Amino acid sequence: MPTMHVVSLKSTFLLLIFSLLCGLQILYGQTQAGILFKLVDKERAIWEVEVSVEEGQAVVADKFAVYLADEWKAKHREGQSIAGRKIIVSDTILAFHPILPFSEGLTYVATYPGLNTLTFTIPTQAYTPTTVVAIYPNRDTIPENILKMYLHFSAKMSVGKSYVNLCITNGAGDTIPLPFLDLDPELWNENSTRLTLWFDPGRIKRDLVPNQLLGTPLEKGQTYTLHISREWTDAAGHLLDRTFQKSFYVSEADRSTPLPDDWDIHTPTAQSMQPLMLQWEESLDEALLRRAFSVWNKEGQTIAGNIELGQSQMSWSFSPDSPWKKGTYKIRIKSNLEDLAGNNLNRPFDRDLMKNPGETPDTPFYWLSFEVK
Amino acid sequence: MKNTLLLVLFFCGTLLSASHANTSEGSLTDGFITGNPAIKSMNALAFGPEGILFVGDAQAASVIAIQTKDITSAGLKEGINMKKVDEKIAALLGAKVAEIQIVDMAVNPISQYVYLAVRHSNGTAMLLKTDGEKLEHVSMEKVSYSKAALSNPVAEDAKDRRGRSMRVWAISDIAYHDGKVMVSGLSNEEFSSTFRSIAFPFKDKQVHASLEIYHAAHGRYETTSPIKTFMPFDLNGSPHIVASYTCTPLVLFSMNDIKAGEHTKGRTVAELGNRNTPLDILHMQLGDESYFLMNNTSRPVMKIAVSDVAAYKDYLTEPVKGNSETAGVEYTSLPYVNVLQMDKFGDQVLMLQRKADGDLALFTTKKNRL
């Protein structure tokens, strides 16, 4: 009996405390002191973590710390806290914005003395897997001394991981050892959606040690396949949609400079909106083609219009914004335009001085002209 | 075995007249402004005088000089020995180890604090600094800085459908020497590089020198090649640059030979082996002799006597014989493999090395071990 009496007294005491706490919360109408994490930007999936202390107290930025849960556990409830900005929301509320947004799937621990530690995991969002949208050159036959490839992705990719996620196999299925240059920095466009790959130039250049010992990465007459691993994560850390492959046949080395004088010009007629077209006998570099040409009228002004590249980058066409007028026009071509083997308009990639002694031209532009009738 | 090098120089101004830009009184940081320099990428780091850190930002096509205000010695003369650097960085940034990449490393010669340019796989660029055995983040929100745009004289680039240029000059190295910031960059489209020299303090009107490199393999095949890494240094009181290219030859040229609009011949002094890209070059005085130290993607740290380079008078013009994987000036391999970053740390060398057990270690090596 005495025992029951004690229990009853204890329960009454706890009930009293609980009622008092509830009353306080109703009285002040505010969030209870504690730590919570919340989604602050749904579109970009940005989370923040916030600490609230009781009314009448002031929140102290230095006391609030957020850790990777693994670090917290491994270092026995301390270790390296995450760097970030602490923003005073009010006297009693402090928000923490990490330098890097909290990552999907990772678990974190937030601590503040006197409050319960919060362990939280950032939930995984629905996403559209990133794909390889284009590989240039896109033709099936490439020269033995090919210098570059461009890989285009549908979304921003992670940087610094190309070398381990790419390989080339030969017809027997064997992997070609290190065909690409392990380049740091990797050559991405600003948005990290296009990667430029270089075949090892030391192996392509005739007579350099790597070329003499190993030869070119690809051999004439063979068929190869480029494999892009699904494990290559995009910038959000997600795997690619699938593994991508492209096969190609290797033809003879190309050691000649492109010669604009040999190109065909398909001229439009006056008063028409017909496209102007240039055509040549080999594939040229896709990226450089897009900015190699400008069309000039006889007054020396450039003409506005849209460009399109033809199949296998063997032609270029230009549709003007306004109709052509009778008269002479000029096409200006940048001399740094390259073919697939890195030969540009001024010089071949590796010039044989025995066959072509003397200086190479150093002109920034070449010109072609055509008559609109 | 010999090899010829032609340096073709395109000057947009007079480089040499800018070489003593800082002769007036006052601090180099007088013209700096305070704020956020809005750095998009950190591709290369280098320290100048007065604790000024130069950051090469390829995405924003600019070089930013940051006044670190880190100008007192931290008293770390004994050196550094930090283990699991990648795990420590991941803990500091709240990220996975696999998402973190150390892009470049520079030691402040005054304080001997180590600065690391770190990139998350989502592209975020961050600057970290060592504090003893700990790492801390260096906020860019309110810093004293000065910025120079890397202008391109032929900048009529095509835009993608959203109006952005696809072309980037990826900054491969940066260095400060005698009033000039030098930057090497690779194009992500044409196979070429720029080598720029920008007078510091940065002026509104910049003086740029762009340098394109040609070299010939054994006197027969002349090619161009982008610079991967370089280092300015004084050889017998005369300013020189030693540079290595993406196709591995090591080339030496004198800054005094650089004349506006003229083709200058440099010297290829060595080929450093297959499937190998040099990462950093240092210049160290070891006893009576000075040396270049180079770390590489697939070879140990190499030690090359500067006197051998200086005495190597002939171009490499003879074809390689036998099965030699390297040619030109002799070098010694030091017992340090997988050294990803390297810089001077007082009279020691600081290395960031991936050890055989997978640990990423940051440690100093004393002279007698080099």
**Could you tell me if A80 lies within 8 Å of chain B, comparing CB atoms?**
yes
Q: How far apart are the first and last CA of chain B?
A: 28
- Residue-wise pLDDT for B228-250, tens only, equals 889 998 887 888 888 887 776 78
Q: Which of A219, A251, A283 is the last residue of a domain?
A: A251
Rounded to whole angstroms, the Cα distance separating B2 from B313 reads 10
Q: How confident is the model at residue B265 (pLDDT cuts 50, 70, 90)?
A: low
Rounded to whole angstroms, the Cα distance separating B351 from B365 reads 8
Domain count, chain A: 3
Q: How confident is the model at residue B213 (pLDDT cuts 50, 70, 90)?
A: low
The three-state secondary structure class of A97 is strand
Q: What is the CATH number of the domain that holds A272?
A: 2.60.40.1220
**Does any domain span residue A73?**
yes
Rounded to whole angstroms, the Cα distance separating B58 from B186 reads 10
Q: What is the pLDDT of residue B164?
A: 53
Q: What is the pLDDT of residue B266?
A: 65
Q: What is the CATH number of the domain that holds A32?
A: 2.60.40
Name every chain B residue with its beta carbon within 8 A of the beta carbon of A186.
Answer: 170
Q: Is the peptide bond before A137 cis (omega within 30 degrees of 0)?
A: yes
- Which residue on chain A is closest to B92 by alpha carbon? A82
Q: How confident is the model at residue B205 (pLDDT cuts 50, 70, 90)?
A: low
Tell which of A99, A136, A186 to mutate to test the B interface (max B CBs under 10 Å): A99
Q: Are B247 and A210 within 8 A, CB to CB?
A: yes
Q: Which of A221, A251, A281 is the last residue of a domain?
A: A251
Name every chain B residue with its beta carbon within 8 A of the beta carbon of A208.
Answer: 217, 247-249, 271
Who among A103, A210, A294 is closest to B274 (CB)? A210
Who among A102, A156, A342 is closest to B123 (CB)? A156
- Contact status, residue B125 vs residue B42, Cβ threshold 8 Å: yes
Up-side HSE of residue A154: CA atoms within 13 Å toward CB?
12
* The two three-digit tokens of residue B181, written as one number: 């910031």
**Does any domain span residue A5?**
no
Same domain membership, residue A100 and residue A185: no
Name every chain B residue with its beta carbon within 8 A of the beta carbon of A210.
Answer: 247-248, 273-275
B 330-359 near A (Cβ less than 8 A): none
**Does any domain span residue A91?**
yes
Same domain membership, residue A185 and residue A75: no
Rounded to whole angstroms, the Cα distance separating B241 from B219 reads 22
- Contact status, residue A198 vs residue A207, Cβ threshold 8 Å: no
Q: How confident is the model at residue A208 (pLDDT cuts 50, 70, 90)?
A: confident
Q: Are A362 and B8 within 8 A, CB to CB?
A: yes
Tell which of B1, B93, B96 to mutate to test the A interface (max A CBs under 10 Å): B93
- Residue-wise pLDDT for B322-359, tens only, equals 445 666 788 899 999 999 999 999 889 999 999 999 99
The three-state secondary structure class of A61 is helix
**Could you tell me if B265 lies within 8 Å of chain A, comparing CB atoms?**
no
B 43-102 near A (Cβ less than 8 A): 43, 58-59, 88, 90-96, 99, 101
Sign of CA dihedral B19, B22, B28, B33: negative
**Does any domain span residue A148?**
yes
**Does any domain span residue A23?**
no
Q: What is the pLDDT of residue A289?
A: 95
Q: What is the pLDDT of residue B325?
A: 60
The three-state secondary structure class of B244 is strand
Give the residue from A342, A346, A321 showing the smallest Cα distance to A334.
A346
- Residue-wise pLDDT for B296-323, tens only, equals 888 899 999 998 888 876 555 554 444 4
Give the distance from residue B171's alpha carbon to the nearest chain A alpha carbon, in angstroms.
Answer: 7
Who among A67, A108, A209 is closest to B271 (CB)? A209
Q: Are B94 and A102 within 8 A, CB to CB?
A: yes
The three-state secondary structure class of A288 is helix
- Residue-wise pLDDT for B38-74, tens only, equals 999 999 999 999 999 999 998 888 999 999 999 988 6
**Does any domain span residue A10?**
no
Who among A83, A159, A203 is closest to B92 (CB)? A83
**Could you tell me if A191 lies within 8 Å of chain B, comparing CB atoms?**
yes
- Residue-wise pLDDT for A330-343, tens only, equals 999 999 999 999 99
Same domain membership, residue A177 and residue A101: no
**Could you tell me if A207 lies within 8 Å of chain B, comparing CB atoms?**
yes
Tell which of B186, B188, B225, B272 to mutate to test the A interface (max A CBs under 10 Å): B188
Q: Return left, alpha or beta for B50; rule: phi > 0 is left, psi -120 to 50 is alpha, else beta.
A: left
Give the distance from residue A352's alpha carbon to the nearest chain B alpha carbon, in angstroms.
Answer: 5
DSSP conformational letter for B210: E
Q: Are B191 and A187 within 8 A, CB to CB?
A: no
Q: What is the CATH number of the domain that holds A204?
A: 2.60.40.3710
Give the residue from B296, B215, B197 showing the smallest Cα distance to B251.
B215
Q: What is the pLDDT of residue B274?
A: 66
Same domain membership, residue A70 and residue A53: yes
Q: How many CB pairs under 8 A join A and B?
A: 218
- Parallel, antiparallel, or unpaired: how do β-strands B348-354 and B339-345 relate? antiparallel
Q: How confident is the model at residue A26 (pLDDT cuts 50, 70, 90)?
A: very low
Q: How confident is the model at residue B152 (pLDDT cuts 50, 70, 90)?
A: low
Tell which of B8, B83, B103, B224 to mutate to test the A interface (max A CBs under 10 Å): B224
- Which residue on chain B is closest to A339 by alpha carbon? B190
Helix locations, chain A, DSSP H:
2-28, 69-74, 162-165, 201-204, 209-214, 286-289
Q: What is the pLDDT of residue B334?
A: 94
- Contact status, residue A315 vs residue A278, Cβ threshold 8 Å: yes
- Parallel, antiparallel, or unpaired: how do β-strands B263-271 and B327-328 relate? antiparallel
**Does any domain span residue A352?**
yes
Q: What is the pLDDT of residue B160?
A: 43
Give the distance from residue A8's alpha carbon to the nearest chain B alpha carbon, in angstroms.
Answer: 49
Same domain membership, residue A35 and residue A86: yes
Same domain membership, residue A247 and residue A302: no
Q: Which of A121, A146, A179 is the last residue of a domain?
A: A121
Rounded to whole angstroms, the Cα distance separating A349 from B82 reads 45
Buried b (16+ CB within 10 A) or exposed e, A25-64: eeeeeeeebebebeeeeeeebebbbbbbbeeeeebeeeeb
Q: How confident is the model at residue A114 (pLDDT cuts 50, 70, 90)?
A: very high
* Burial class of residue A361 (count of CB atoms within 10 Å of its CB; 0-12, 13-18, 19+): exposed
Up-side HSE of residue B151: CA atoms within 13 Å toward CB?
12
**Does any domain span residue A163?**
yes
* Burial class of residue A77 (count of CB atoms within 10 Å of its CB; 0-12, 13-18, 19+): exposed
Same domain membership, residue A278 and residue A306: yes
Rounded to whole angstroms, the Cα distance separating A246 from A167 reads 11
Same domain membership, residue A146 and residue A78: no
Same domain membership, residue A175 and residue A211: yes
Which residues sit opposite B221 in a β-bridge?
A: A352, B217
Q: Containing domain of residue A367, as a range?
A: 260-372
- Contact status, residue B242 vs residue B233, Cβ threshold 8 Å: yes
* The two three-digit tokens of residue B272, written as one number: 């450093």
Q: Are A160 and B101 within 8 A, CB to CB?
A: yes
Same domain membership, residue A266 and residue A361: yes
Give the distance from residue A162's alpha carbon to the nearest chain B alpha carbon, in angstroms.
Answer: 12
Give the distance from residue A10's alpha carbon to the nearest chain B alpha carbon, in angstroms.
Answer: 45
A 6-65 near B (Cβ less than 8 A): none
Q: Is the peptide bond before A185 cis (omega within 30 degrees of 0)?
A: yes
Name every chain A residue with its beta carbon within 8 A of the beta carbon of B297.
Answer: 182
- Contact status, residue B7 vs residue B214, Cβ threshold 8 Å: yes
Who among A66, A182, A362 is closest to B277 (CB)? A182
Q: Is the peptide bond before B201 cis (omega within 30 degrees of 0)?
A: yes
- Residue-wise pLDDT for B79-132, tens only, equals 899 999 999 999 999 999 988 999 999 999 999 999 999 999 888 999 999 977
**Could you tell me if B205 lies within 8 Å of chain A, comparing CB atoms?**
no
Q: Are B217 and A205 within 8 A, CB to CB?
A: yes
Same domain membership, residue A217 and residue A141: yes
Same domain membership, residue A244 and residue A137: yes
